[in-house]
Amino acid sequence: MPIYKAASSRASSSSLQDDDSSPSETTARRQSHTTAQADRTRSSRAQRQLASSMAGNGKAAAAGVVVPEIKYTKLFINGEFVDAVSGKTFETRDPRTGDVLAHVAEAGKADVDLAVKAARDAFEHGKWPRMSGYERGRIMNKLADLVDQHTEELAALDGADAGKLLLLGKIIDVPGATQMLRYYAGAADKIHGDVLRVSGKYQGYTLKEPIGVVGVIIPWNFPTMMFFLKVSPALAAGCTVVVKPAEQTPLSALYYAHLAKLAGVPDGVINVVPGFGHTAGAAITSHMDVDSVAFTGSTEIGRLIMESAARSNLKTVSLELGGKSPLIVFDDADVDMAVNLSRLAIFFNKGEVCVAGSRVYVQEGIYDEFVKKAVEAAQSWKVGDPFDVTTNMGPQVRS
């Protein structure tokens, strides 16, 4: 996390922007970062409150490494767990130890074709798009209930697969996922068109329809939240989905497919195809029968996805890509608070966040003091087993 010295004179925030950032972009980043800081502060408070109650539940035993039970490792296509057509598997490893957690079925183009066909059949001939919005919402709420009931297992899966703090998964990731599900469940019966008075006796109207088959490609930093951030609105609208989780963290997505079936989501509506970007991911983005792609990941891959979408069937694309978020500290700030917030900004979720506070601009009057305290704060941050409640930060998924 670079720390830059800024001139002593009171500069406007716009004068401290990067050359490629507009004032509105910087304001938006600051607002987003302020919200994130509040969330992180709540997370830290909750961690302190829950630490004593968790200490005796066996999850954070000092001796040995906790490995959750892994139940689902096959592709999920048309309501069934199946092997890859090729029979290939790939290893998903525990970032704590480097040990293999599981061998997961590796989807290739043939598997993506099967998943897209299942999704297309479910969209064109199945009942999901033809249900009332109320009924779709009811099933989505049931899925949210099931996710809530399996919070322990799901947080543990992401802890082992992504190195994510167990407590973070339990108080932020899984509850955040169910909140998204419930929000879009409530929106499912409120998707309405408009009637417009054009002129004279003529009226126009708009009719909103589900777009069709949606390809979803999610990253490894928030496997649970990203799954539901993208799947939930698609389900509410009546779309069907083909999800490719990150190859580093495929396990929780497969568990969610299982829970979706239990909740009553019809076969073919949700399909999960773990695999690699250059094979399974590329097959989704270039597929002529996929109508839209939603992706979160690097800017480089985002460009490739836009190109692939344009070259195939001009499918719509929604992208959430990387960022480089600055923090600005003026000399009238509370230095201790600023240091603590900057530490949280860069180390929250191991820094594996698209809005991580990866640069700090400090006014020169407090620069030396800030740097000294920032070094001390970083040195006191404990990196360790995410199942240990005394750990501040788990291992990196990618280094």
Question: So which residues are the catalytic ones?
Answer: 320
Contact status, residue 386 vs residue 394, Cβ threshold 8 Å: yes
Distance from chain centroid for Cα 181? 13
Facing residues of 361 across strands? Answer: 4, 328
Nearest to 266 by CA among 257, 253, 278, 275: 257
Sign of CA dihedral 26, 27, 33, 37: positive
Within 10 A of 80 (CB to CB), how many other CB atoms are there?
12
- Asked if residues 358 and 325 have their Cβ atoms less than 8 Å apart, the reply is yes
Could you give the CA distance from residue 299 to residue 354 in angstroms, rounded to a whole number?
11
CA 280 to CA 113: how far, in whole Å? 10
Six-digit token string for 61: 């035993």
Selection from 43, 317, 334, 346 nearest residue 165 by Cα: 43
What's CA 346's distance to the chain center, in Å?
17
